[in-house]
C-alpha cells in the first residue's frame, strides 16, 4: 500500500533529534509555553522575516484570534475564496461575521483577484487569501485593494509554510499570518499546533492575551479570551524538525516536477506554478473529469488518494443561512468535483512514485 503521506518515515529519518527534544522537555518540567515555545516562536519569526510570532493550539485558533485581534465581529463581512478548507469560513462565522465568497482561479485555486472589488461592501472589514495546497495567492493586487478600501489582510498560510511570493515568504505579507502545524503539514507537529505572526507589536500583544484567557497578568482577565497555548512538547518537536523544513520542501518540489512531467501527457490536469510564486506542494493536486473512477482504480492498486475538498464551503450546511446556492461559484464547484490529491511527501521513493504514475497511465488507456 502506498499511503498519501507517511508520518512515521519522517519521524524515523530524524528519530534521534526528536526523541532528545521530547526527553529534554520532559526533564525540564515546562509544559505550557515556556522556553521551548519561545525558541520556536523566534525561529519562525526569523524565518518568515516578521517581528512577532505567537504560538497557539491550532491553525484554526490562529484565524479566530486574528479576527478577534482586529475587532471583527457581528455585522462585519470578510472576503474569502470559495474553495478552501471549511475553517477559513467557519472561523469568520464563529466571531459573528459573514464570509463573503469570491470564486477561485481554475488552475491555481487561489482567490481570483479580479473579482474581489465587486464583493466589497460598506460592511467589509478584511480579506483572507488562502495559500491553498502550498501555492501562494497573488498578494500585491490583494494588498493594493485592501489599502484602497481600508481593509485588513489575514493570510491563511496553513498549507504554505516556506512558499514564496516574489521572493518573500507567505504569511509575512499581510497584517497577520496564520500558520498550522497539523501533523500532515510541510512542518508538522505530533498533534494540533498553530501560530500567528505579525509586524504589529500592539496586535502581537493583544493576540498573546487572547491565547490565554485575556490575561496580561496571570488570573487578571481583561477580556474574554481562549485557552489556546502551544504546548512545550509540540514546540520542542517542531524546533527539532524546523532545520529540515527547506530541504523537505525541496524534495516535495522535485517529486512534484517529476509527477508533472509524467502525468501531463496522460490527460489529467496537473498543477501550475505562477512565475511570481514558489509552490511548496503541501498537496499534489491533479484534476480529472473521471475523478471518482480514477480514485477507485488507484484504491484497487493499493494507492491512497484523497479529495481536498469535496464540498466548497458556500454549499455547507452552516453557510445556507447566507443564501448561497449551487452555481454561485462555478470554478470552486467544478474543482470540488474533479480534484484529487496523489501521494506526496519528502520520503516518497522514486519506485513508489513510478507505481502511482504507472497506475494513472493504465487508467488513462
What's the pLDDT score for residue 174? 98
Residue 178 pairs in a beta bridge with: 156, 196
Give me the mean pLDDT over the 233-260 stretch: 98
Q: Using one digit for the tens of pLDDT, what is the confidence trace for 224-243? A: 999 999 999 999 999 999 99
- 105: which 3 cell numbers? 482561479
Q: Using one digit for the tens of pLDDT, what is the confidence trace for 304-328? A: 999 999 999 999 999 999 999 999 9
- Of 96, 59, 105, which Cα lies nearest the Cα of 77? 96
- 186: which 3 cell numbers? 510541510
Strands (E), 183-222: 194-198, 215-217, 220-221
pLDDT band, residue 122 (cuts 50/70/90): very high
What's the pLDDT score for residue 208? 97
Give me the mean pLDDT over the 258-270 stretch: 97
Spatial separation of the C-alpha atoms in residues 12 and 15, rounded to whole Å? 5
What's the pLDDT score for residue 77? 98
Domains of the chain, each with CATH number or no CATH: 7-243 (3.40.640.10), 244-364 (3.90.1150.10)
- Of 179, 284, 176, which Cα lies nearest the Cα of 242? 179
- For the chain, what is the mean pLDDT? 97
98-102 β-sheet, strand order: 52-56, 194-198, 176-180, 152-156, 124-127, 77-81, 98-102
- 337: which 3 cell numbers? 468535483
- 319: which 3 cell numbers? 453557510
What's the pLDDT score for residue 256? 98
Q: Under DSSP, is residue 365 helix (H, G, I), strand (E, B) or coil?
A: coil
Q: What angle do CA 90, 94, 99 make, to 5 degrees?
A: 55
Give the number of other Cβ atoms within 10 Å of residue 96's Cβ. 12
The residue to which cell 497539523 is assigned: 182
What's the pLDDT score for residue 191? 97
Q: Using one digit for the tens of pLDDT, what is the confidence trace for 325-346? A: 999 999 999 999 999 999 999 9
User: Do residues 142 and 111 lie in contact, with contact meaning Cβ atoms separated by under 8 Å?
Assistant: yes
- 329: which 3 cell numbers? 461559484
What's the pLDDT score for residue 254? 98
pLDDT band, residue 299 (cuts 50/70/90): very high
Q: Under DSSP, is residue 104 helix (H, G, I), strand (E, B) or coil?
A: strand
Spatial separation of the C-alpha atoms in residues 298 and 364, rounded to whole Å? 12
Give the number of other Cβ atoms within 10 Å of residue 106's Cβ. 16
Cα-to-chain-centroid distance, residue 100: 19
Amino acid at each position: 500500500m502506498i499511503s498519501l503521506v507517511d508520518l512515521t518515515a519522517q519521524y524515523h529519518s530524524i528519530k534521534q533529534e526528536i526523541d532528545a527534544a521530547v526527553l529534554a522537555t520532559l526533564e525540564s518540567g515546562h509544559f505550557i509555553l515556556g522556553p521551548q515555545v519561545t525558541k520556536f516562536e523566534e525561529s519562525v519569526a526569523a524565518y518568515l522575516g516578521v517581528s512577532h510570532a505567537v504560538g497557539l493550539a491550532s491553525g484554526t485558533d490562529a484565524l479566530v484570534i486574528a479576527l478577534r485581534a482586529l475587532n471583527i465581529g457581528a455585522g462585519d463581512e470578510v472576503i474569502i475564496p470559495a474553495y478552501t478548507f471549511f475553517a477559513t469560513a467557519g472561523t469568520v462565522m464563529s466571531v459573528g461575521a459573514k464570509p463573503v465568497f469570491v470564486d477561485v482561479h481554475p488552475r491555481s485555486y487561489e482567490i481570483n483577484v479580479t473579482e474581489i472589488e465587486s464583493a466589497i461592501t460598506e460592511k467589509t472589514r478584511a480579506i483572507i487569501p488562502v495559500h491553498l495546497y502550498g501555492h501562494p495567492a497573488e498578494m500585491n493586487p490583494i494588498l493594493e485593494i485592501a489599502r484602497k478600501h481600508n481593509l485588513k489582510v489575514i493570510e491563511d498560510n496553513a498549507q504554505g509554510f516556506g512558499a514564496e511570493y516574489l521572493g518573500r515568504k507567505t504569511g509575512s505579507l499581510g497584517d497577520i499570518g496564520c500558520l498550522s502545524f497539523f501533523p500532515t503539514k510541510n512542518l508538522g507537529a505530533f498533534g494540533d499546533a498553530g501560530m500567528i505572526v505579525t509586524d504589529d507589536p500592539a496586535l502581537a500583544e493583544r493576540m498573546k492575551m487572547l491565547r490565554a484567557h485575556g490575561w496580561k497578568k496571570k488570573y487578571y482577565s481583561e477580556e474574554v479570551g481562549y485557552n489556546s497555548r502551544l504546548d512545550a512538547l509540540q514546540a520542542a518537536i517542531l524546533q527539532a524538525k524546523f532545520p529540515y523544513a527547506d530541504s523537505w520542501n525541496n524534495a516535495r518540489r522535485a517529486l512534484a516536477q517529476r509527477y508533472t512531467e509524467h502525468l501531463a501527457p496522460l490527460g489529467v490536469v496537473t498543477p501550475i506554478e505562477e512565475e511570481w510564486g514558489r509552490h511548496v506542494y503541501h498537496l499534489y493536486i491533479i484534476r480529472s473529469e473521471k475523478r471518482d473512477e480514477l480514485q477507485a482504480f488507484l484504491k484497487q492498486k493499493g494507492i491512497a488518494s484523497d479529495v481536498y475538498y469535496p464540498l466548497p464551503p458556500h454549499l455547507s450546511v452552516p453557510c445556507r443561512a447566507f443564501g448561497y446556492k449551487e452555481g454561485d461559484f462555478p470554478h470552486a464547484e467544478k474543482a470540488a468535483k474533479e480534484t484529487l490529491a496523489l501521494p506526496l511527501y519528502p520520503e516518497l521513493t522514486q519506485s513508489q512514485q513510478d507505481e502511482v504514475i504507472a497506475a494513472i497511465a493504465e487508467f488513462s488507456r
